[in-house]
Copies of this chain bind each other. A is one copy, B any other.
Amino acid sequence: MNNFEFKNPTKIIFGEGQIAKIATEIPKDAKILLLYGGGSIKKNGIYEQVKTALKEFNIEEFGGIPANPEYAVLQKALDVIKEKQITFLLAVGGGSVIDGTKFLSSAAEYKGDNPWDILDKKIPTLKGMPFGTVLTLPATGSEMNSGAVITRSETKQKLTMGGPGLFPVFSVLDPTVVKSVPQRQISNGLADAFTHVLEQYMTYPVGALLQDRIAESILQTLVEVAPTILKDPTDYKAASNFMWSCTMALNGLIQKGVPSDWAIHIMGHELTALFGIDHARTLAILTGSHYSYNFETKKEKLAQYAERVWGVDQGSIDEKARKGIEKTVAFFHSIGIETKLSDYTKDYGGTGSEIARRLKERGMIALGEHGKLTPEDAEKIVELSY
């Protein structure tokens, strides 16, 4: 097991009907900015629940945060924060709204001239404006971690930020929100959380027996609930386990003491940038190819995964490992997600070299848990995904 530090102070408030509790988690004298996305919360009753809970509070609103939270939009929200002297942010939405709120939390307390520097110069946020979240879409895990991804379309950039000051003060996870999530987003959430776990687990053994088993627990739970939640998103048992699994997949716990990969995410971001493919689907496209290409360095963990998550008990290490890759691809198919780039676009020719070029341009020349994957390797992995 590698050395690690772990601290996660976010308070999770989990369960049906828990949105009302936010009133006791926010200071009475707070000036709140309620942030949300495209307005689906006004159709599914969540907006009403939040407004009812906060009827005694002083609230402003800012809607319209888009799916990849856009810097230009967030700049407008930052103006509202300053004009209205906001003291507490409340994100009601999925990962994009929460990530956008994390940027605002940081920018509101930032002393420099240009808040873009937080992203561009990778300035860690030690203290942000306090914020809470009401999660409406299980997937990214942003509700219990301190990281965010922000997009600036003007300069075609998608950058990450974070720091110990960016944990939500609280996050409300009410599994009944899943029933108003479109089928496509549920599939994406399952694939996103599944791949989050894989990126922190499918590397090489370092003797972190407990972390491995907890990672496998999340994978097993996602596999178990996937058919039910897709068939009936009102099934509370499936919805609650889906929601808690997505949170646990990226709240820091399973990545402590082990190496992480994240090459799939880095390549996947490029597929989203080039073709506009949903983030989760880019991960599904690349996972099988990535593991096949890096078979030798990952086969021990692949075999363990095949045994424990998929019950593959026959064959050599190599055979089990291959079976593990097959099972993963089949899982994506089973939740309605195609796994070839050609399933999404006819213009896939040359994508491998284009992604290699883009990675090189940004100095991303050492990917994966060993830091040994070059842009040329990425080119071949993408080509295997055609």
A39 in the interface (beta carbon within 8 A): no
Cα-based distance from A7 to B171 in the complex (angstroms)? 10
Give residues of chain A (187-226) contacting chain B, Cβ–Cβ below 8 Å: 207-211, 213-214, 216-218, 220-221, 224-225
> Which B residues touch A209, using CB under 8 A?
221, 224-225, 237, 241
> Which B residues touch A58, using CB under 8 A?
none
| B9 lies within 8 A of A14 (CB) | no
**Chain A contact residues, CB within 8 Å of chain B:** 1-18, 175, 207-211, 213-214, 216-218, 220-221, 224-225, 236-237, 240-241, 244-245, 248, 256-257
| B225 lies within 8 A of A221 (CB) | no
> Which B residues touch A3, using CB under 8 A?
14-18
Apart from A9-B9, A210-B221, A210-B241, 18 more pairs, CB < 8 Å: A1-B14, A1-B15, A1-B241, A4-B12, A4-B14, A4-B15, A5-B14, A6-B12, A8-B9, A207-B237, A207-B241, A209-B225, A210-B218, A210-B244, A213-B216, A213-B220, A214-B217, A216-B217
| A240 lies within 8 A of B7 (CB) | no
CB distance from A258 to the nearest CB of B (A): 11
Cα-based distance from A3 to B5 in the complex (angstroms)? 29
CB distance from A285 to the nearest CB of B (A): 27
CB-nearest residue of chain B relative to A205? B237
Cα-based distance from A248 to B1 in the complex (angstroms)? 15
> Which B residues touch A17, using CB under 8 A?
3
CB-nearest residue of chain B relative to A14? B4
> Which B residues touch A248, using CB under 8 A?
210
Cα-based distance from A320 to B231 in the complex (angstroms)? 32
Cα-based distance from A205 to B213 in the complex (angstroms)? 21
Which of A15, A175, A216 is the most central at the interface, judged by chain B CB atoms within 10 Å of its CB?
Answer: A15
Cα-based distance from A4 to B174 in the complex (angstroms)? 11
Cα-based distance from A175 to B237 in the complex (angstroms)? 38
Cα-based distance from A50 to B18 in the complex (angstroms)? 44
CB-nearest residue of chain B relative to A10? B7
Cα-based distance from A224 to B16 in the complex (angstroms)? 37
Say which residue of B2, B9, B210, B221 sits within 8 Å of A245 (CB atoms).
B210
| B257 lies within 8 A of A14 (CB) | yes
Cα-based distance from A236 to B4 in the complex (angstroms)? 15
> Which B residues touch A220, using CB under 8 A?
213
CB distance from A37 to the nearest CB of B (A): 26
Which of A175, A220, A236 is the most central at the interface, judged by chain B CB atoms within 10 Å of its CB?
Answer: A220
| B256 lies within 8 A of A14 (CB) | yes
> Which B residues touch A240, using CB under 8 A?
1, 207-208, 257
Say which residue of B1, B11, B213, B217 sits within 8 Å of A210 (CB atoms).
B217
> Which B residues touch A213, using CB under 8 A?
216-218, 220-221
CB distance from A118 to the nearest CB of B (A): 24
